Amino acid sequence: MIGLGIAGLTACLYAARQGARVLAISKDIGGQLARVTYIENYPGTGPTSGFEIIRRVESQVRELGVEIVMDEVRKVSKEGDVFRILTSKGREVRSLAVIVASGKVPLTIGVEGEEKFLGRGVSYCVICDAALFRGKRVLYVSGNVPHLEMSLDTLLAHCSKVYWIPKGVSIDRKDDKLEILRGFDLLKIDGDDRVRRVVLRAPDGSTREVEVDGVFIELGYRVSIDFVRDLVQLNERGEIIVDTLCRTSCEGLFAAGDVTAVPYKQAIIAAGQGAIAALSACEYLSTKFGKKFRRIDWSKPKTHTFRISLRL
Ligand SMILES: Cc1cc2nc3c(=O)[nH]c(=O)nc-3n(C[C@H](O)[C@H](O)[C@H](O)COP(=O)(O)OP(=O)(O)OC[C@H]3O[C@@H](n4cnc5c(N)ncnc54)[C@H](O)[C@@H]3O)c2cc1C
């Protein structure tokens, strides 16, 4: 397993419950979800923090004896049926199946206030957070991202006023609540404990201050796939193409979550894909190698030990 966001954690949960020997390598635990301060669209939890969801799933995974190594994967290669995984700390792991769940990082603008107000008015995800701005005024800075029309519709459905700075977007929209600020730049996000206003630069060079309650930035994202780029087929955004069983173009290599070309980057979708990838990987190991999974002694959880170099 490479990556322990919600996709990787869920894959660990499913693979370990099947009896597979699972080694997870990740730079951190929780990924994007661990930094989401408020989430209300994850089924069964009610409004909560992303960190709380991660905390619970991580504890389920640890109970099942998954070995977790904090490290960064630098390279995955394949020799015959065997994958060789190299890490930045010099580790080398061999495995018959690999699940990539290394996620993505949203592109930022880098203006003053952007980081300070993240989760307190600044968001990188309209689908995730538009409903938290019911009746509020927001600024939307967007590139030519997938689902742009839907994002605009969603913002207009919830918010009282939407200022839109389109970047490299040619589509036009007319709506009483919408003010298009073509050619404007966002200079600064300001407020107290939350976002209260933004400072913009107009095409003629003058500055304009606009009172808003939120700022949505959707300029795209960078997927974390450099270590596997040579092995798998990618789409035009650099995301890993998977089929409905989360199989990639490389046999034995599966992918799940935001790193894949599957649309609508959401926690529940990443988790669902993690489950699919794990079951697919287990089925692959059984059918191709006749692998018998370990028998789990449920009376003694946490007693399974693994070496860093997996036995094949
Ligand atoms: C601000 C914000 C708010 C959001 N709000 C919501 C919301 O309200 N509802 C919702 O459903 N979704 C929300 N999302 C989206 C949701 O968080 C993501 O869709 C989901 O967390 C993706 O999970 P993932 O496991 O696929 O990837 P990630 O969370 O990106 O996890 C990837 C993991 O891989 C690790 N990794 C990366 N590269 C390597 C490497 N080379 N070696 C080892 N490890 C590596 C990372 O450290 C990380 O642990 C939000 C996202 C953001 C940024």
pLDDT of residue 156: 97
The pTM (predicted TM-score) of the whole model is 0.89
What does the pLDDT average to over 90-109? 96
In a domain, 296, yes or no: no
* Burial class (CB within 10 angstroms; exposed 0-12, middle 13-18, buried 19+) of 54: buried
Collapsed DSSP state (helix, strand, coil) of residue 258: helix
Among 168, 187, 218, the domain boundary falls at 218
- Closest residue by Cα to atom 5, ligand 1, is 128
Whether residues 94 and 117 share a domain: the answer is: no
Q: Show the ligand 1 pocket: residues with CB < 6 angstroms.
A: 2-8, 25-28, 31-33, 36, 39, 41-42, 72-73, 101-104, 106, 123-125, 128-129, 224, 227, 257-258, 265-268, 270
Q: Which residue among 75, 128, 151, 246 is best mutated to probe the pocket of ligand 1, counting the most ligand atoms within 8 A of its Cβ?
A: 128
Whether residues 229 and 195 share a domain: the answer is: no
Task: Look at the alpha carbons of 22, 24, 29, 33 in this order and tell me if their dihedral is positive or negative.
Answer: negative
Over 50: is that where the pLDDT of 310 sits? Answer: no
Whether residues 133 and 204 share a domain: the answer is: yes
Distance CA 64, CA 84 (A): 25
pLDDT of residue 172: 84
In a domain, 138, yes or no: yes
Residue 170 binned pLDDT confidence (cut-offs 50, 70, 90): confident
Q: What is the CATH number of the domain that holds 198?
A: 3.50.50.60
Indicate the pairing of strand 161-166 with strand 178-180.
Answer: parallel
> Is the CB of residue 215 less than 8 Å from the CB of residue 130?
no
pLDDT of residue 302: 47
In a domain, 190, yes or no: yes
Among 218, 237, 260, the domain boundary falls at 218
In a domain, 298, yes or no: no
Whether residues 240 and 274 share a domain: the answer is: yes
What does the pLDDT average to over 71-79? 97
Over 90: is that where the pLDDT of 212 sits? Answer: yes
Residue 243 token pair: 């089929």
Give the pLDDT confidence of 288-309 residue by residue, as tens digits: 998 677 665 556 544 343 334 4
Amino acid in position 214: G
pLDDT of residue 279: 98
Residue 111 token pair: 């203006």
Tokens 């938290």 locate to 132
Residue 37 binned pLDDT confidence (cut-offs 50, 70, 90): confident
Whether residues 98 and 240 share a domain: the answer is: yes
Whether residues 58 and 132 share a domain: the answer is: no
Residue 100 token pair: 């990539």
pLDDT of residue 295: 60
In a domain, 308, yes or no: no
Whether residues 14 and 50 share a domain: the answer is: yes
Classify residue 264 by its DSSP letter: S
Whether residues 112 and 214 share a domain: the answer is: yes
Q: Atom of ligand 1 at shortest distance to CA of 273?
A: 26
In a domain, 294, yes or no: no
Distance CA 34, CA 292 (A): 34
Whether residues 114 and 252 share a domain: the answer is: no
**Percent above pLDDT 90 for the chain:** 89
Among 218, 247, 264, the domain boundary falls at 218
Give the pLDDT confidence of 173-183 residue by residue, as tens digits: 899 999 999 99
Whether residues 119 and 213 share a domain: the answer is: yes
Q: Containing domain of residue 237, as a range? A: 2-105+221-289
- Taking all residues of the chain, what is their mean pLDDT, rounded to a whole number? 93
Q: Which residue among 36, 41, 264 is best mutated to probe the pocket of ligand 1, counting the most ligand atoms within 8 A of its Cβ?
A: 36
In a domain, 295, yes or no: no
Residue 244 token pair: 């409905």
Residue 56 binned pLDDT confidence (cut-offs 50, 70, 90): very high
Q: What is the total count of domains within the chain?
A: 2
Whether residues 36 and 52 share a domain: the answer is: yes
Whether residues 165 and 197 share a domain: the answer is: yes
In a domain, 303, yes or no: no
